[in-house]
Chain A
Amino acid sequence: MLVFFLIPVLILTVYSFWSVENFQVQRDFSFDNYTAIFTKPLLYKAFLLSLRVAFFSSFGAVLLAFPFAYFIAKKVVKYQSLALLAVIVPFWTSFILRAYAWRILLGPNGVINQGLEAAGLIEEPIGALLYSPTATGIGLLYVYLPLAILPIYSVLERLPDSLTEAAADLGASPFQVFREVVLPLSMPGVLVAGVFTFVFGIGEYVIPALLGGGKQLLYAEAIVLRINAQQDWPAAAAMAIVLMVLTFGMVALLGRRVRKMELF
């Protein structure tokens, strides 16, 4: 298993120190590919934009996911597995398909525009629904929400009701129960949800392209461009390795934090 992972990574690492001239790979050694990422405006802007997208999808998804997860874990007693299924099912369909579904909903001839028109609320379709930051935001949250719900659900589901009841019994108001007991004890799940969505978000470019119109270059898209348009494999390799180090670093940190917090 490890071999299948390590060998490509090694090859990638070696590649990342080479360079390209006239579409020919030169087997020399330099850090140029790495310094370029943080000095070329095109690249570092793409990197920063990707960080922003990742931060938004992670923060937004976790914030939205918490009430969903809480509701499923603590309030839905009878139909809990059904509710969980509703969260998981989208995973089984291609997420490109789901992004296209949102295009149909949000597009100029889409369900929302036609509905509003039929209701006489608008006269012309709102073109800005699709290909806007809002559309990107909706799409990102929609795709990342289940990813964030599951880990939070799993910690909340294991949180004994007697703990929240004990807190209330000792005089904690519902808000204090949340702050003093529910939140600290669900932190492992919140962190996992946050890092997962962040890691996915930083490599994201399909949804912004399909729903946001791809007006700004994202980091992952820039990697693809390096390969497809410029045949610059070494530069792409360096960019990929930066991304990988970042995500692995976060996952490793997360692992240590969560293990320290493993409380029950």
Chain B
Amino acid sequence: MSQERQPAGVSLIDVTRRFGDVEAVKNVSFDIEAGEFVSLLGPSGCGKTTTLRMIAGFEYPDEGDITLDGKSIVATPPYRRDTSMVFQDYALFPHRSVAQNLAFGLRMRKIPKDEIRAKIETMLELVELPGLGDRKPDQLSGGQQQRVALGRALIVDPAVLLLDEPLGALDLQLRKQMQLELKRIHREIGITFIYVTHDQEEAITMSDRIAVMNQGSVEQIGPATEIYARPETAFVAEFIGDANVLLATVVAVGEKPTVTFAADTLTMEVARPARTFSERDVVSAVVRPENVSIGPDADSFDNVYDMEVSEVIFAGSYVRIHGLIGGSPLWLTTTVSDASRSNQVGSRVRVGWDAGDVVLVEWKS
């Protein structure tokens, strides 16, 4: 596709939006680079849609500023913004054919008819719907409607594409296929994508960076790998991937930071935390289940404990083992062959993990 518009960066600066007493979006700030694929990820009701709608212009921020390409857009009405939105319910015009839906934005821009026709053909190909231009939206499957919605938003060459859970209504298989296709389209046209989803796997698969939202705030923004390895809050740790979140107390800081946990009965060495804690601070110690080793090998790690196995669950390609260490629950995942050596419920096994695999975050209140 011919590139008429440069992608643009989007910044939110201390943006707050209230609905009556509800603070739907609280003091949110982030910068999205031109051409980036960023996901807003979080549970239902955390303010993702409201954030996206403020960028599109359907909601206004009560406080703060939003810029597109460095220029404030809060006073610009939606129809003059260089953003395009793919709606959760697709919002296809039911009284218009697929081609007329695609043509809509171009007609509003007074593009000549023959040019519109050519662009429709190109777009039908890009979203892989050739020959369906004459259909009405209600004669299409959900997946096809989704593609029309996508094409209709892209055909006007926006600088930023906003997508609100666009795959939410599709079944799993179609969703996976569309995820790949959205990635391909993003690569091909290179504009900025801001993608709202509550599905962590979807966000991880697709995004350059993820902004994890909770109760109206962005708790962390970064590449999936970084968020996974270095979550900054207990919420982020639990929302992205699996996690043991242990209530712990800092007992030593400095070269060899140490915490106690399991009601202060056990100690654990941790890596130097990204943020500073002081002695006696109550914290969450995050340990990923796949970083916990089990069996004789466990002895070689920094932190080694006895675990009483309470449950062994076969989960296909791996096995989940639940147990108690010092009375505190812990779970881990291991390979099927490793599990077979220690799969006796009630038996005692050695478990261990490295100091570098522990992330300390503030205790979730």
A binding-site residues for B, Cβ under 8 Å: 160, 162-163, 165-173, 176, 180-181, 184-185, 261, 263-264
Contacts and interface: CB of A to CB of B under 8 A. Distances in A.
Interface stretch (B77-85, B125-133, B226-234, B296-304): B77-85
Contacts of B89: 160, 162
Contact of B108 (A163, A165, A171, A261): A171
Residues of A contacting B: mostly: helix
Nearest to B108: A171
A170 B156 contact: yes
Given A167-B93, A168-B77, A171-B109, 19 more contacts: A162-B88, A162-B89, A163-B93, A165-B56, A166-B92, A166-B93, A169-B56, A169-B78, A169-B79, A169-B153, A170-B104, A171-B80, A171-B108, A171-B156, A172-B79, A172-B104, A176-B108, A181-B93, A263-B95
B61 interface: no
Closest 4 CB pairs of A and B: A170-B105, A171-B108, A162-B91, A166-B91
A162 B94 CA distance: 12
B359 to A, nearest CB: 40
Interface residues of B, number: 25
A264 B79 contact: no
Interface in B133-189: 152-153, 156
B100 to A, nearest CB: 10
21 contacts: A160-B89, A160-B91, A162-B88, A163-B93, A165-B56, A165-B78, A166-B85, A166-B87, A166-B91, A166-B92, A166-B152, A167-B93, A168-B57, A168-B58, A168-B77, A168-B78, A169-B79, A170-B105, A170-B152, A172-B108, A181-B93
Contacts of B93: 163, 166-167, 181
Contacts of B83: 169
A184 B85 contact: no
The CB with the most chain A CB atoms within 10 A, among B56, B78, B85, B109, is that of B78
Interface in B204-251: none
A154 B93 CA distance: 18
A81 B140 CA distance: 36
Nearest to A163: B91
Contacts of A264: 94
Contacts of B104: 167, 170, 172, 180
Nearest to A261: B95
